[in-house]
Structure formats: structure tokens, C-alpha cells
Chains A and B, each alone.
Chain A
Amino acid sequence: DVKVTQSSRYLVKRTGEKVFLECVQDMDHENMFWYRQDPGLGLRLIYFSYDVKMKEKGDIPEGYSVSREKKERFSLILESASTNQTSMYLCASSLYQGVNTEAFFGQGTRLTVV
């Protein structure tokens, strides 16, 4: 079974802190994604990566950065957390086969910034 694991299920951080959300997949997938999920807005893409050290901005990259030093790991970084970044964060991965492969998701990290 494909496994996408996010390091924390729940996180509480203070405004201004630097926050790291970690995601690891064990299926040798090339593509990895970070989304945030908010009520009424669905899943919005923050960043994605199609290869090691490669990254592309999604629809809402402001306030975030990412790191992909190894194929299996994709980190989302909140440089200076703000209360409007309180959300559910979902990591996903998929094979690199053009556009036809489904994405597998982690269990999500619910981040609260106080």
C-alpha cells in the first residue's frame, strides 16, 4: 500500500514562529504536493514538486516555502506563521506518468496559529 505520512496530526504554534510540516512517501513517487483545506474553499494548492530539488508554485504560495532534498520527503515551511495560516494541511504524492495518475494523500496536519 502507498503510504504518505505527515509528521504531525495536530500542531499549535505562535504567531511569528517558523513552522516546518514534514511529509514522507514510501512509493518512489516523483510528484509531491502540499494543499491547505479550508471550509467552503476545498483544497488549494500551495506548492508542488515533480522531482528532487524542483518546485513549482501553486495557487496560494504566499507566506510559504518548500524543500525537497530527497525524493521521498517534501517539507512545507511557514517562514513566519500568522493566524490566517490556521488550516488543515494535506500532503499528497503521485507517480510521474503525465497527468493520468491519482494522488495519494496523507492524514493531514491541523495547524493552529495563536
Chain B
Amino acid sequence: AQKVTQAQTEISVVEKEDVTLDCVYETRDTTYYLFWYKQPPSGELVFLIRRNSFDEQNEISGRYSWNFQKSTSSFNFTITASQVVDSAVYFCALSEIDYKLSFGAGTTVTVRA
């Protein structure tokens, strides 16, 4: 069963538009962690953020923000005022008590100038 679902396969926007990437996860553990990674065209995955299951505070880092809602098992990611350099594949991931790190299928974001 898919533990992490990223429903959006591709999103294309014009520069300066906001982009929200959806992530829905599934777990029976009470302790778990959620992550977002970015994979630019160069191919190497870059860590963006982690959030533990006991911390539902939203987080903002520059133009990036994350919305964690346990009630809906969602951990959504928003890029505000997108730029061409934000073009990449973005992955949501879940780490459970057995240390396995499960990824979603990824969302390809294309930002056009």
C-alpha cells in the first residue's frame, strides 16, 4: 500500500505565482517524521524540512512554508512567489518506527519566466 501519496504529478506556473504541493500519508505509528526533498535537474536530492508527529506548528523558511495537519494526515508545501530556480521534482517522505524512509511519487514543478 502506498504510504505517501502526492496526487499532483506535474504543476506548471508562471514566475511569481504561488505553488502548493499536496502530500497525504498513511501510518499506524504514533511517532513518525515527515520530510520534503527537492530534486533539481542535476539529480541529487536535497533535504528541505522535517517535521515530527508531535509538532503540528506550521513552518516558514523564506519563500517556503509547510502546513502539517494530523487530522487529515497531510503535510503540504507552498512555494510563495515562485522563481525559475524552483523548477524541480519535489518529494514528500515518511519515516516510521522501523526506520524505513518511504517516498511519494513526486511532483514536477515547472516555473516559466
Contact = CB atoms under 8 A, between A and B. Distances in A.
Interface of A: 31, 33, 35, 40-45, 48, 50, 56, 58-59, 88, 90, 92, 94, 98-108
Interface of B: 4, 6, 9, 31-33, 35, 37, 42-45, 47, 50, 52, 91, 93, 95-106
Contacts of B32: 99
A94 B95 CA distance: 12
B100 A40 contact: no
B104 to A, nearest CB: 5
A31 B52 CA distance: 19
A103 B9 CA distance: 23
A94 B47 CA distance: 12
The main secondary structure of chain A at its interface with chain B is: strand
Given A31-B99, A100-B33, 18 more contacts: A42-B4, A42-B105, A43-B91, A43-B103, A45-B100, A48-B99, A48-B100, A48-B101, A90-B45, A94-B101, A99-B31, A99-B32, A99-B96, A99-B99, A102-B50, A103-B101, A106-B44, A108-B43
Contacts of A48: 99-101
Contacts of A45: 100-103
